[in-house]
Amino acid sequence: MKDPAEILRPFVSEARHLASPLNMIASDMIRDRSLVQKLDEHPDHFTQNYGLKSEELAALRARDLPQLFQLGLHPFLLVRFAGMMGILEYWQALGAPGRGGWPRNS
Amino acid sequence: MPLVGAAAAPHSHLQLFTRPAEDDDYKRLVQKGRDAMFVLREQVERSGADTILVIHDDHFVNFDFRCYPPFAIFVGKEASGSGVTSPAEIQKITGAVYREYEGKSEYASAPSGIPQHMAAWEKQKPYVYNVDVDLSTKLLKGLMERGFDLPFTTDGTMDGEHVLTMNFLNPRADKNLVLFYTNGYVPPLPWPRRCYALGEAIRDIAEASSQKIFVFATGGMSHYPGTPLYGHVDEDFDARILDMLAKGDGADLSKFTPDDLMNHGNGELVNWIIAAGMIGNRPAKVVDYIRLWHIGLGYIYWEL
């Protein structure tokens, strides 16, 4: 396995979540589910109201969880965002060890 | 001597959840964790505590990206929260009583699809605790006097995992609480040396209290939710921490950096380090350590 510090660098040592508008968007989405629909139907809402860069918007619209982690979406909010997008086992998309050989729930 | 006991244990929802397909071996491990919590409950009862000082990292219920302080204290009269699952199920497992409201049959804390332990929509909460306002006020003023610039919160919402710890340790809700919040997962975390010093300062203030206080640090141990390391557990690091605490070397926890804790999946150890600062160099008793699929669950207590 790669060094955990290297894997976690965007989150731990670089703390990219501090400057990323992705976290306010995800926080607002939890409270206002209409934003989930706006992501697909009115993406300009996010560039206009949150100062989102094009690669950030693209990652949200593509539900690109590895890229969102790299861009600074906080892990707690990444899990919530994934859930709102219907992605229940988010760790698979992140390439995480996940459940490994542990028994699965149905 | 008002500090009458101390413990540290996980707040993981996995202690109350076994889904149908998880096999008998897994359920046996979960029961071991519950049994460890019952050992800690016994410590709380034996101590004769009036108040449990709970040190817990908030899971974006009281604080979020609008403002996330390294430490904060709740100063209201009453704290409340929803459980990680239905109150009836929690009562079956832990014996925890809950408040029922006329006309209310559903105790989820938020609409379906919203993480229940992260949300605070509903105001009629099943788990309600009185707060030791005298002690929380003394701590706020005393810590500021000692150079800890401490934010306070008046919301009083406990997330589901915070409630879980009291389901096990305070099932009749007959102990008063003091809720001390930390940042355990939003880097930059508070420095361990600062956490330890904070614990020492809290002890000094608490010793002037007339209440008998049991300190309880929640969280841990190694886990990496929401990251590409989810499912990995740094069991070696957890073993090292438990060994240090068992030998009475809690002060050595203050030598870690915040990045050390986070890279070993142990951001929530900040809570344990504050408790260690309150306890000093007394050896802890390690009750158990259990590896579940994404987390190492460590349970310890100190007899005072």
The ipTM, to two decimals, is 0.94
The reply to whether residue A103 touches residue B25, judged by beta carbons under 8 angstroms, is yes
CA distance A24 to chain B (A): 7
The reply to whether residue A98 touches residue B23, judged by beta carbons under 8 angstroms, is no
The reply to whether residue A1 touches residue B185, judged by beta carbons under 8 angstroms, is no
Residues of B in Cβ contact (< 8 Å) with A76: 59-60, 118, 185, 225-226
Q: Binning pLDDT at 50, 70 and 90, where does residue A104 land?
A: confident
- Summarize the confidence of residues B166-177 as an average pLDDT: 98
The rounded Cα B217 to chain-centroid distance in angstroms is 5
Alpha carbons B182 and B69: distance in angstroms, whole number: 7
- Summarize the confidence of residues A9-36 as an average pLDDT: 94
- Summarize the confidence of residues B61-90 as an average pLDDT: 93
Reported pTM: 0.96
- Architecture of the domain delimited by B3-303: 3-Layer(aba) Sandwich (3.40)
Closest CA to B150 of B74, B206, B213: B74
- Summarize the confidence of residues B122-147 as an average pLDDT: 94
Average pLDDT, chain B: 93
Residues of B in Cβ contact (< 8 Å) with A93: none
The reply to whether residue A96 touches residue B225, judged by beta carbons under 8 angstroms, is no
Max Cα–Cα distance, chain A, nearest Å: 45
Residues of B in Cβ contact (< 8 Å) with A68: none
Which domains are present in chain A?
A: 4-94 (1.10.700)
Q: At what angle do helices B24-47 and B160-169 cross, to 10 degrees?
A: 70
pLDDT of residue A106: 57
Q: Where are the domains of chain B?
A: 3-303
- Asked whether the predicted pLDDT for residue B111 surpasses 70, the reply is no
The first and second tokens of residue B232, run together, are 């990995």
pLDDT of residue B17: 77
Residues of A in Cβ contact (< 8 Å) with B230: 90-91, 94, 96-98
Question: Model confidence over B206-234: pLDDT tens digits?
Answer: 998 889 999 999 999 999 999 999 999 99
Q: Which amino acid is at A62?
A: A
